[in-house]
Copies of this chain bind each other. A is one copy, B any other.
């Protein structure tokens, strides 16, 4: 038996994962960003196969991770978590940096640190892909902020995971409120 409340005790941060370039970039909200090795520093991100970013990360061969802080504007979640980059330029009007070597955009709005990875491996786990990249650059933007955790987001913003998230729960199926 699966008690979904137990799964909610796994801890996550919240991030914007971007790929593409200066002409055409895109990003999505992710809670599944994890360092998987330290020598070299490799980081894994999980992405729904339905996400526009799934193809774009592969095409770009790189991705950036923006670590959201607790003062990040709620608007970022609507923009990156609940709309598709197929029919909307999610990066329009935001503060962006571009990585010199890979060219990937990094969102700096609402972010306390950014990490850039060159894509090395992708693993198919069913509905989602795990992308693993070697870190080529990290930068601290605002060390005094507090990283936003998924738990904090649920408690303080009453936020939920969008349907493409690895941790999405269809509450109608389980009689949850």
Contacts and interface: CB of A to CB of B under 8 A. Distances in A.
A42 B149 contact: no
Interface string A122-138: 01011110101001011
Tell me how many chains of this kind the complex includes: 2
A148 to B, nearest CB: 8
Interface in A96-120: 112-115
A60 interface: no
B6 A147 contact: no
Interface residues of A, number: 55
A98 to B, nearest CB: 16
The 7 closest A-B pairs by CB, nearest first: A11-B13, A6-B138, A6-B113, A9-B67, A9-B113, A38-B168, A123-B123
